[in-house]
Chains A and B, each alone.
Chain A
Amino acid sequence: MDRDGICLFLRYNFPLWPTIPEIQMMPRLTALAAAMLLAGSVHAADRIKVGLVSTLSGPGAGLGVDIRDGFQLGIKHLNGKLGSLPAEVLVADDQQSPDIAKQVADKFLKKDKVDFMTGIVFSNIMLAVGPAVFQNQTFYISANAGPSQYAGEQCNPFFFNVAWQNDNLHEAVGKVVQDKGYKNVVIVTPNYPGGKDAVSGFRRYYKGQVSEEIYTKLGQLDYAAELAQIRSLKPDALFFFLPGGMGINFVKQFVSAGLSRDTQLFAPGFSADEDVIKAVGGSMLGMFNSSHWAHDMDNPENKRFVADFQKEYGRLPSLYASQGYDAALMMDAAVRDVKGNVEDKKALQKALEAKRFKSVRGDFKFNTNHYPVQNYVLRAIGKDAGGRITNRTMGIIFANHADAYAGQCKMK
C-alpha cells in the first residue's frame, strides 16, 4: 500500500476523507473558483492552451522533466507562440499514478479547456487518460507513450504519437542482437503495457533462444532476486527495458554483482540515455542501444536544439527531450496551417497528419494510425572528443520502419 493506498484506507473508513489529489488541489480549486467568479468562464480564442501532464516526481521523474524541458525549449524557439498565437502551457505532475493523471487531465479538459494535451510518459497512464481526452475531442500529441492499443484497433483520430510506437525501439534491438549472432538471451522488463510491447517487439526480430522473460514490478528498485536468476541462467546477452530510475539501479546492481563479465547488455535508447549515463557512469561504456534520435545527428534543426538545450539547462538532452521539442513544433505547424482556427477539428486533424515541421531526428512521416514511419539507428556508449561518456551513432538499423499494428487500425 502506498500513500494513495493509505488515503483510500482512510477514505473507506471515514467517507469525508479527501484523496491526495483532492488535498493537493484544494488551494488551486479555491483560487480557480475565485478567478471564475471575477472573470466568468469565458474562453478566449486568441491563444493556444496546452495541458502538459507528465511524471515529474519519483523514479520516473527524469523522463518527464526532459519532456517538459524539451517542450518549453520548443515554445521558446517559437517565440512563445504556437502558430502565431500566444502559447500558454499548463504543467502538472501525475506522480506516475493513473488516478492522479486522470484527475489533472480532467481539470485541463473541463476547467481550462485546453486545445492540446501532451507529456504523458508511461503507457499505463496514457491508456487511463486517453478515453476522457478523446471523448472531449481534444488532440493528444504523445511525446512518449506509444501503446500498441492506440496503434491498432483502438487507434483514434485525436491521438498522435510524435515519437514512436512502443515496440519499435525494441524491434531494432532485437534485430541487432540477432545480427550479432547471440544465441541465449534473457529479457527483463516491468510488468505493464509498455513492458509487454517491449517483449513482443524484441521477439519479432530476435529469433534465437530466450531462456527467460523476467517481469518485475513497475518502479521496482532492488533487483537482487532477478540478478541471481540471471546468473544461474548464464545468458550471453541480456535485453532489458527499465526506464528511469529502475534502469539506473538495475545497471548499477548488475555491474556490482559481477555479471558484466559474461553477459553483454542490450537496451532500447530509454535505458541508455543521458539520464542513466549521468547516474551510472563508466560501467555503461560499450553498451549498445537503439533510438530514432541521437544528439550527434547531423542536421541544422538538431544542432540548434542540442546547443540551446545545453545552454538553457546545463545538460545534454535525452531522446525524451527531443520528443517534447518535436511535439511543440508539430502543434505550431498545425495551428499555422488552420490559421489559428483550432475549433475546426477535421481541418486540424488533416494539418497534424500533414506534418509540416522539420523534426530534429531528420525527415519522417505519419502512418495511417498517426504513428511515425521513420529510421531507427544503433548507438553505442563511448567517450566523445572531450572525454565525456555519451552516446555515439553507429549506423541505421531500420530505414523507413512502420509499426506492426497499423494494419489493424481503421482510422475514422
Chain B
Amino acid sequence: MLQLILEQTLNGLQFGLMLFLLAAGLTLVFGIMDCINLAHGSLYMVGAYFVAAATQAADSFWIGLGVGVAGAAVLGLVLELTLFRRLYQRDHLSQVLATFALILIANEAVRAIWGPAALLLNPPEALAGPVEIGGFFYPAYRLLIIAVGMAVALLLYLLVARSRVGMWVRAGAANREITESLGINVRALFTAVFVFGAALCALAGGLLGPLLAVQVGMGESVLILAFVVIIIGGIGSIRGALVGSLIVGTVDTLGRALLPTLLRALLPADAASTLGPALASILIYLLMAAILFFKPQGLFPARA
C-alpha cells in the first residue's frame, strides 16, 4: 500500500511539474500583459513537433530537445513582435478571437507539414527501462522529467524572487501603469516573458513527446488544464502556478487511481464502473469550483 502511494505521488508530481511548465508562461502572459492567450497550447504542440522533427534529423533526443526549444523560442519572438504586441491594448474578446484563429492555423499548418498521423518519439535508449527505487521499479524517463521539472521550478523561483528582472515582472503583474512610470522598458520585458513562456511550452512538449504522442490537437486538452491551474493558483503568480500544478497533478492522478476502487466499496459494481471514471475526470473541476468559492482570486493572488 505504501509503495502504491509512493508511486502515485511520483506520478502526480511528474504530471504536475509538466503542467507547471505550461502554466508558468500562461500565468505571466495573462497576469502581466492582461492577455488571454488561447494559443498557448498550440505553442506546446508546435514545440513538440519541432523537437520530434529535430530529433529525427539529428538522431539524438538531447540535440532535438535543444534545437526544438530554441525553435519554439524564435517562433514565440516572431509571434510577439508581429501579433501579440498589437493585442495587449485590445479587449479580451479580440484576444480570444485572434488567438483562437492561431489555434486553427497552427493545427492546419501542422497537419499540412507533418500529416494527420501522430509522430512517435522514443526516449533515449539509456532511459527506456525501469530503475529500482525503494524496493520497486519506476520508469527512468519519468524520473528525468521530475528532475527537469524541479530544476526549472527552482530556476524560475530564483529568477522571479531574487533577480532584478524578476522584480520587474512581479511589479508588472501587480500594477502595470506604475511599473511603466518607473521607467522600466515594459515592451522589452513583455517580449522576454512571452519568449520564455514559449520555450517552456516546447520543453514540456518535447519531454512529454516520448511518453504521450506528438499529434495535432494535443495542445487543446492541456490548455484547459493549464487554465484550471492558473485560476486555482491565482493569475500572475508563479508560486500559485507551482502549487496549483502540483495540486491538479496529484488530485487527477490519485482520483483516477483510487476513486473507482473507493466507489466499488460503496456502490454496486455496475454503477461504480460507470460513475468512477466519470467522477475522476471531473474531480479537478470540482476542486477548482471549491477553491474559487473560498478564495475567488485563487490561492496566491498577484494583485492582492
Contacts and interface: CB of A to CB of B under 8 A. Distances in A.
Given A6-B38, A23-B104, A214-B260, A59 B220 contact: no
A135 interface: no
A2 interface: yes
Nearest to B123: A256
Contacts of A395: none
A3 B217 contact: yes
Contacts of B273: 213, 215
Interface string B197-234: 00000000000000111011100110010000000000
Given A1-B220, A226-B256, A217 B281 contact: yes
Interface string B247-281: 00000011011001100000000000110111001
Interface string A178-216: 000000000000010000000000000000000011111
The binding surface of chain B is classed by DSSP as: helix
A231 B4 contact: yes
Interface stretch (B128-136, B158-166, B176-184): B128-136
A228 B4 contact: yes
Highest count of chain A CB atoms <10 Å: which of B111, B254, B273: B273
Interface string B50-83: 0000000000000000000000000000000000
Contact of A6 (B103, B123, B274): B103
Contacts of A228: 4, 7-8, 11, 257
Contacts of B130: 256-258
The bracket for how many chain A residues form the interface is 35 or more
Interface residues of B, number: 51
A126 interface: no
Interface stretch (A153-161, A245-253, A314-322): A245-253
B257 A61 contact: no
A56 B216 CA distance: 12
Contacts of A10: 96, 100
The binding surface of chain A is classed by DSSP as: helix
Contacts of B11: 224-225, 228
Interface string A213-251: 111110001101110110110000000000001001100
Given A231-B4, A249-B212, A3 B220 contact: yes
Interface stretch (B24-32, B112-120, B287-295): B112-120
B157 interface: no
Contacts of B224: 1, 5
A221 B118 CA distance: 12
B284 to A, nearest CB: 12
A166 to B, nearest CB: 17
A279 interface: yes
Given A2-B217, A10-B100, A58-B118, A253 B257 contact: no
14 contacts: A2-B220, A6-B220, A10-B96, A57-B111, A213-B273, A215-B260, A222-B15, A225-B254, A228-B4, A232-B1, A248-B120, A256-B128, A258-B137, A258-B139
Interface of A: 1-3, 5-6, 10, 23, 56-59, 61-62, 65, 93, 191, 212-217, 221-222, 224-226, 228-229, 231-232, 245, 248-249, 253, 256-259, 279
Interface of B: 1, 3-4, 7-8, 11, 14-15, 38, 96, 100, 103-104, 107, 111, 116-118, 120, 123, 128-130, 136-142, 211-213, 215-217, 220-221, 224, 253-254, 256-257, 260-261, 273-274, 276-278, 281
